[in-house]
Structure 1
Amino acid sequence: MRFNRLLRMVAVLSLALGSSFLTNASAEEFPAGDVQYVIPFGPGGESDISARLQQKYFQEITGQQLIVQYMPGGGGAVGWSQLSQMPKDGYTIMGSNLPHIILKPLGKNVGFQTADLDNFFYFHYSPDAILVRNDSPYKTLDDLIQAAKDAPGAITLSGSGTYSANDVANIRFQKLADVTTTYIPFKGTGAAVTALLGGQVQAEWGYTTVAANHRDKLRMLAVSSEERHPMFPDVPTFNELGFEMVGGAYRGMAVPKGTPKEVQKKLSDIFQQINRNPEFQQKMQDLGFVLINVPMEDMDTFMAKQQRVYEATARESGLID
């Protein structure tokens, strides 16, 4: 435990030292150097995939590098709890995920509050989905439900942490389907899908992006989007199957509270420009992402709506009183 704490302190210090020489740069010159992009999950998940795709276009627009680093733990809470200690100059940004940043502080003391993050851009979401391996005996969602009814708690599903979109989806589904399953949280989607592929669990609460990346090994039983996903026209929505479920994981970016608004606006504009690049859009769509554009100027309205929705969901699901 002490060693892990030391590693996190070293990571924060390295970020501070790496950007300290830029603190006097004006907003007009921003960015005058590389930007550190901290992913609060392990490598291999959707947040990491998105960041790696954004790197090329960030460099084309700014002439600077977008350097990806990882600070996993607590389903994102370790990174978000450290954000306030990082430089407030725009040269350190961090992945920001919904519903995680809202639900985690509601459930218990996780070292940060939602308001501690200055979100400046949200760029996509991926719908929740139940996935199984291609050799799974569960060919349909009904098969999985029947197995869960026959042996309550015996069906295990991996997912990306507690108080994540996957966790909420599992709780909602159990209630709607009147079943009991065992949800096993992992440090990000990458670890969750590895557990499924390795046979450690029988199914996964993942996303369309996971299915797109592992089409030769996995299949979706149902997806929680309004309509069938274009990449998977044969996969029914939960709504079609009689379960009112629409939702998923939203991904964006934040900076430490106190970062100058003009710098945040620069960052927002840069990533919005990336999101509008046709080549980037095609790459994201081919991976199963659904693009959205929530710039800094629309963020307060967006976050207020999400706060209401997820707080209501948390109460309905029993995550909070």
Structure 2
Amino acid sequence: MHRRHCLAWLAGLPFAATAGTALAQDKDKPIQIIVPFGPGGSGDISARMLAEFLTRKTGRAVVVDNRPGGNGIIGVEAVRNAPADGSVLLLATTSTHLANPSLFRKLPYDPGKDFRLVGSFGPGSTYMLVRPDAPYKTLQEFVAAAKKAPGSINYGHFNATSKVTGALFAHEAGIELAPIPYKQVSQAMSELIAGQIQVVFTDTVAGDAFVASGQLRALAVHSDARLKRYPALPLIAETYPKFTIRGGFLGIAVPAATPVEIQQKLNTWINEAVTTDPIRSRLEGFAFAPAKVSLADLATFERQEREKWKGYVDIAKLEVQ
């Protein structure tokens, strides 16, 4: 990278020289966005959109680094141990920041103490996906089939959100679904297409291309309202009003020791990115609702949602690892 590009980027950050010292030590080092899950998922797609925006905004290279494994723990730990100077960002998800504290007894990190959320891609929605030739054409037919043969329907999961969403749906519908774990969303989708499993609950970002291409069929969607793109697609809550788990959360976090001035600058950039085209249109097309969110509101959201997840895990009767 040219020296003038790096200096221009640093000049755009409204914080004291001491806060930028670490950034200035290696002028050619790109900014990293670490995604704690594999390629092709909603986090990966969102991170790459943001990376393009930040590159245009700052003139500095921004690299997306996928670090899958351990329900996001491997990638999270990499950022927790990274310099707290804004050069390494974490793609935070429902799994990493809301669910994991209730799913793991000995989680090596504390999302509330070790990180600060600096941006959000907006509340998301969740598809309930089956094969196009599945024998059930409606949500009611799916539930009837599951009740007729308890445990015969497998659902694939690849993170905390997909696992708990499936378990909560089974609880509300009064059926038994067999969970099948996968390391990545792409693996679960491939197995669903091949007929090895019967259903996957995934966010609309990761599922959109499969639905649009006809490779998979959405039986229903979990969202605040019916999707503009598919208005005939019913909401799960229309049949099961108590199914209120929030759709997948995607955001950006930094180590807690990151100076607040850097946090604020990142927050400003991310708010601009998600509320202007082309990112805004793409997120809305994926059934997200992007909006500007302050650092204080992000902190409040995180605390409240993490408490809700304790209840979700209890209702779904999931074993804490």
Same fold (TM over 0.5): yes
- Distance in 1 separating the partners of 2:191 and 2:294: 35
Aligned to 2:282, what secondary structure does the other structure show? helix
State the distance in 1 between where 2:170 and 2:224 align: 20
Aligned 1:17-166 pairs, distance under 5 A: 27=19, 34-108=30-104, 109-115=106-112, 116-161=114-159, 164-166=160-162
Distance 1:53 1:320 in 2: 35
Kindly provide the amino acid, as one letter, of the partner of residue 220 in structure 2: A
Partner of 1:282: 281
**Relative to 1, partners in 2 of residues 1:292 and 1:310: Cα closer, same or farther, differing over 3 Å?**
farther
| Residues 188, 294 of structure 1: alpha-carbon distance in 2 compared, 3 angstrom cutoff | farther
Alpha carbons 2:37, 2:184 under 8 Å: kept: yes
Between 1:272-281 and 1:105-114, the stretch displaced more is 105-114
Map of 1:301 onto structure 2: 300
Aligned pair count reads: 296
Q: Which amino acid aligns with 2:256?
A: K
Give RMSD over aligned pairs: 2.3
2:238 corresponds to which of 234, 237, 240: 240
3-state SS in 2 of match to 1:220? strand
Please state whether the residue corresponding to 1:240 is helix, strand or coil: helix
In 1: Cα distance, 2:52 partner to 2:81 partner: 28
Distance (whole Å) between structure 1 residues aligned to residue 209 and residue 47 of structure 2: 16
Q: Match for residue 8 of structure 1?
A: none
Give, in whole Å, the separation in 2 of the partners of 1:190 and 1:103.
21
1:7 corresponds in structure 2 to: none
Residues 1:175 and 2:171 aligned together: yes
Q: Secondary structure at the match of 1:316?
A: helix
Answer yes or no: is the 8 Å Cα contact 1:149–1:179 preserved in 2. Answer: yes
Q: Which runs of 4+ in 1 moved over 6 A?
A: 28-32
- Counterparts of 1:248 and 1:124, CA distance in 2: 10
Q: Distance in 2 between matches of 1:184 and 1:110?
A: 22
Secondary structure in structure 1 of the residue aligned to 2:99 = helix
SS at match of 1:125: coil
Q: Counterpart amino acid of 1:172?
A: L
- Which stretch of the first structure deviates more once superposed, 237-246 or 24-33? 24-33
Which residue is equivalent to 1:272?
A: 271
Structure 2: runs of 5 or more not aligned: 1-15
| Counterpart in the other structure of 1:15 | none
Matched to 1:296, the amino acid is L
Tell me what 2:12 maps to. none
**How far apart in 2 are the matches of 1:39 and 1:121?**
15
Aligned position for 1:218 = 216
1:194 match: secondary structure:
helix
Gap regions ≥5 residues in structure 1: 1-23
Report % sequence identity.
28
In the TM superposition, what whole-angstrom CA distance separates every residue of 1:147-181 from its partner, at most 9, and x where no partner exists?
211221110111222xx222221121111111100
Tell me which residue corresponds to 2:290: 291
TM-score, normalised on structure 2?
0.84
CA distance in structure 2 between the aligned counterparts of 1:107 and 1:286, rounded to whole angstroms: 31
Alpha-carbon distance between aligned partners in 2 of 1:85 and 1:249, rounded to the nearest angstrom:
25
Query: CA distance change for structure 1 residues 293 and 48 in 2, over 3 Å: closer, same or farther?
Result: same
Aligned-partner Cα distance in 2 for 1:195–1:320: 25
